[in-house]
Amino acid sequence: MPLIEVSDLVKYFPVRGGVFNRVIRQVHAVNGVSFAIEKGEILGVVGESGCGKSTLGKLLIRLLEATAGQVLFRGRDISNLSSAQLMPIRRQMQMIFQDPHSSLNPRMTVGAAVREMLAFHEIVPKQEIRAEVDELFSKVGIHTDSKEKYPHEFSGGQKQRVGIARALAVNPEFIIADEPVSALDVSIQAQVLNLLMDLKDEFDLTMLFISHDLKVIDHFCDRMLVMYLGFVVEEMPCRDIHADALHPYTRALLGANPSADPTQRHELTVLEGEVPSPYDLPVGCPFAARCELVTQQCRHEMPPLVDRESGHRVACWEV
Amino acid sequence: MRSTPSTFELLPIAPFMPHTTMPLATPLLDVRNLSVGFRTDRGDVTAIEDVSFQVRPGEILGIVGESGCGKSVTSRSIMRLLPERNSFVDSRSEILFDGVNLAQADESVMRSIRGNRIAMIFQEPMTALNPVFTIGWQLDEALKYHTKMNRSERRTHVVEMLRTVDIPHPEQRYREYPHQLSGGMRQRVVIALALCCGPELLLADEPTTALDVTIQAQILRLMDELRKNSDTAVVLITHDLGVIAQICDRVIVMYAGQIVETSEVQPLFARPQHPYTKALLESIPQPGPDHHQARLPTIDGVVPSLFELPAGCRFQDRCPYKVEQCVTEQPRLSKEVHMRKVRCFFPINES
């Protein structure tokens, strides 16, 4: 049984307006997304800003309520649980955010921020909290002398380590990492990715790793979902995405990514046109307006996400 | 048609041409020994030290480095945009733009150059545009100030500029406000604003960092066309080595306020000489099954604080090749050999 199973997840954000403040239209953020994550697996979610990848992460942990669809955690539907019923499950799911600065309380020392997690969830007896904080800090590579410092005294990479320590404090099984390395410099990004990889093995973690950076997803994840306009357009293993990717949008993302090798200069793929409005979704394929391979069928009929071979699913009529 | 990886790698954006084989044009911008400091509550601090470089017409010079290395201070001091209240430029510094020393120039001289002969693109397009004026008004203002065009000429020119940067329906966009455009379009408007007076030098400070890769590709293509078609000199500041590899001719690597290496692009990526450059290149995740989920080489430690710079080499604490000399003595930038300079006692990969 997969650890996480998501079926037909939908999220609309109502936009209110007019004299009676009625719902005048809906932002279609996530449009019927289904996938599963096996225990110990890292699933990447990649896409451009506004494609619904962060919303998807928040729906999984119920920081947002889904409009429709189900999230099963170890086979149990958590979409309708009360907050009291949800509490023990929340402890098993933790989130790491993009901007470690805004996710830490500036008036709380980093030690206190981690202590709070341990005390609130009653992870260890009171007298062992201090020792546990020290251990967590040493695991994420922060000197234990630093624990009485405030967030502003740390660099971005160190703050992200504190965010990771806080997430790990409750011994979670499942981590949602929303752009955890996007705000970091490349050398620090490498440190944090290595740390996440080590911790994944040590704590036997399962992860949903959200990023706009295909290079990082390709390197770090076992499988990935490619999202466009709230739809999953491709789902595939990450072993060799340059060779395996099929969907024209995934190919365009790959082609637009500048390679750090000046001997391989290539004409960067430039997508013409703009992303369609999430208020009125197109009838056919969401990518039809910008796709090179577009046909009449694409404009009128939504392609289903079809299994091509072991775990590689593509939503396209033409490839 | 779907292109396979091998075919699109074969289409060069600008074939690499070593400058050594071409006669060198006179530099448009010649920065000599630029040192800039700030007055702070904790005392004076030197943000960039002894930065020298040249940019020629039609050339794209990349400046790369991590946060706090001084790349933005460099571009802002060229434009003289640093607050005079708490910043100071060393008196020996020279910023020669077409023979005029901008470091000593009057504000009136700067005003005639800024936005006209030298233009700048900032990272965040929303802050560079005024939200209460239309796109057309803002572009028109620059032309009104710097040119003698009349109203209808200006309007035609603005619409033409918007078309150049691939803004669809430019006549309609002319009347719209910045919030009505997407992030990528706003950045293209900022570029149109920078280009509308036909600058000879474009300073682009992280122009694509806040953008998605597909939009980034549009902006990079635009800058490449610009240097080819108008012979504009471009200084491109970025932390993304991929962007550097794709469109720059030469590159400067900065670390803790100093230039640590400068080279043409291809030799730098093939044979980095400074340990920092080498480490930076290695820490980029590589594509392909061989590297999948492998440990990334990292640079241990952090950049030293500008307030507590070590006596010797600034990279010493993070350098795997450190010896006694690195601790006691500060390395100088070497003499130029094959268009390369490096600040290290024991450069790696030296031919």
How far apart CA B282 and CA B278 sit, in angstroms, is 6
Q: How confident is the model at residue B176 (pLDDT cuts 50, 70, 90)?
A: very high
Q: Which of A2, A13, A4, A3 is closest to A230 using CA atoms?
A: A13
Give the nearest chain B residue to A252 (CA atoms).
B214
Whether pLDDT at B337 is above 70: yes
Chain A residues inside the 8 Å CB shell of B269: 260-263
Distances (CA, A) of A211 to A43, A67, A72, A103, A265: 11, 24, 23, 18, 24
How far apart CA A228 and CA A252 sit, in angstroms, is 12
Chain A residues inside the 8 Å CB shell of B184: 274
Helix (H, G, I), strand (E, B) or coil at B49: strand
- Look at A252 and B296 and tell me if their CB atoms are within 8 Å: no
Whether pLDDT at B80 is above 60: yes
Whether pLDDT at B3 is above 70: no
- Look at A266 and B9 and tell me if their CB atoms are within 8 Å: yes
Give the minimum alpha-carbon distance from B113 to chain A in angstroms, rounded to a whole number: 33
Q: How would you classify the pairing of strands B118-121 and B201-205?
A: parallel
When mean pLDDT is compared across B15-29, B243-257, B308-322, B332-346, the lowest value belongs to B15-29
Domains observed in chain A = 4-314 (3.40.50.300)
**DSSP symbol at A82:** -
The model's pLDDT over B271-290, given as tens digits with 9 standing for 90+, comes to 999 999 999 999 999 888 88
Give the minimum alpha-carbon distance from A213 to chain B in angstroms, rounded to a whole number: 8
Chain A residues inside the 8 Å CB shell of B280: 186-187
Q: How high is the mean pLDDT of chain B?
A: 88
Considering only residues 248 to 277 of chain A, which have any Cβ-Cβ distance to chain B shorter than 8 Å? 248, 251-271, 274-275
Most A CBs within 10 A among B282, B283, B290, hence the mutation to make, goes to: B283
B42 touches A: beta carbon within 8 Å: no
How far apart CA B132 and CA B12 sit, in angstroms, is 42
Give the minimum alpha-carbon distance from A114 to chain B in angstroms, rounded to a whole number: 23
Tokens of B174: 């002319």
Tokens of B221: 């293509």
Q: What count of other Cβ atoms lies within 10 Å of the Cβ of residue A81?
A: 16
Q: What is the structure's pLDDT at A147?
A: 87
How far apart CA B171 and CA B246 sit, in angstroms, is 33
How far apart CA A240 and CA A259 sit, in angstroms, is 15
β-bridge partners, A208: A43, A176
How far apart CA B281 and CA B284 sit, in angstroms, is 6
When CB atoms are compared, the residue of B10, B213, B295 closest to A257 is B213
B1 touches A: beta carbon within 8 Å: yes
The model's pLDDT over A193-211, given as tens digits with 9 standing for 90+, comes to 999 999 999 999 999 999 9
Q: Which long-range contacts (CB under 8 A, 24 or more apart) does B100-104 make?
A: B102/B78, B103/B34, B103/B77
Q: How confident is the model at residue B2 (pLDDT cuts 50, 70, 90)?
A: very low
How far apart CA B5 and CA A314 sit, in angstroms, is 19
Give the nearest chain A residue to B250 (CA atoms).
A262
What is the average per-residue pLDDT within B53-82?
A: 93
φ/ψ (deg, to 5) at B192 = -60, -40
B169 touches A: beta carbon within 8 Å: no
Whether the CB-CB separation of A232 and A8 falls below 8 Å is answered with no
How far apart CA A319 and CA A253 sit, in angstroms, is 16
B19 touches A: beta carbon within 8 Å: no
- Look at A216 and B285 and tell me if their CB atoms are within 8 Å: yes
Give the minimum alpha-carbon distance from B271 to chain A in angstroms, rounded to a whole number: 12
B263 touches A: beta carbon within 8 Å: no
Residue holding tokens 């093995």? A201
**What is the distance, to the nearest Å, from the Cα of residue B34 to the centroid of all Cα atoms in its chain?**
16
What is the average per-residue pLDDT within B342-346?
A: 96
Q: How would you classify the pairing of strands A231-237 and A223-228?
A: antiparallel
> Under 8 Å CB-to-CB from B72, ≥6 apart: which residues?
B205, B206, B237
Distances (CA, A) of B237 to A163, A314, B142, B203, B275: 30, 38, 24, 8, 21
When CB atoms are compared, the residue of B245, B283, B291 closest to A262 is B245
The model's pLDDT over A67-99, given as tens digits with 9 standing for 90+, comes to 999 999 999 999 889 989 998 898 899 999 887
How far apart CA A266 and CA A246 sit, in angstroms, is 19
Q: What is the structure's pLDDT at A267?
A: 81
Chain B residues inside the 8 Å CB shell of A183: none
Q: Using N-to-C axis directions, what is the helix angle for B213-230 and A248-256, rounded to 10°?
A: 50
Tokens of B134: 């239309």
Give the minimum alpha-carbon distance from B108 to chain A in angstroms, rounded to a whole number: 38
A220 touches B: beta carbon within 8 Å: yes
How far apart CA B96 and CA B93 sit, in angstroms, is 10
Q: Number of A:B CB contacts under 8 A? A: 165
User: B197-219 burial, b for 16+ CB within 10 Å, e for fewer?
Assistant: bebbbbbbbbbbebbbbbbbbbb
Whether the CB-CB separation of B35 and B90 falls below 8 Å is answered with yes
Residue holding tokens 């509550």? B41
Give the minimum alpha-carbon distance from B168 to chain A in angstroms, rounded to a whole number: 9
When CB atoms are compared, the residue of A242, A263, A267 closest to B5 is A242
When CB atoms are compared, the residue of A212, A242, A262 closest to B265 is A262
Chain A residues inside the 8 Å CB shell of B294: 219
Whether pLDDT at B16 is above 70: no
- DSSP E strands in chain B: the ranges are 29-40, 43-55, 60-64, 87-89, 94-97, 100-101, 118-121, 201-205, 233-238, 250-255, 258-264, 341-342
How far apart CA B77 and CA B105 sit, in angstroms, is 12
Q: What is the structure's pLDDT at B124?
A: 76
Q: What is the structure's pLDDT at A24?
A: 87
Chain B residues inside the 8 Å CB shell of A158: 302
Residues of chain A with pLDDT under 70: none
B320 touches A: beta carbon within 8 Å: no
Residue A177 parent element (H or E): strand A174-178
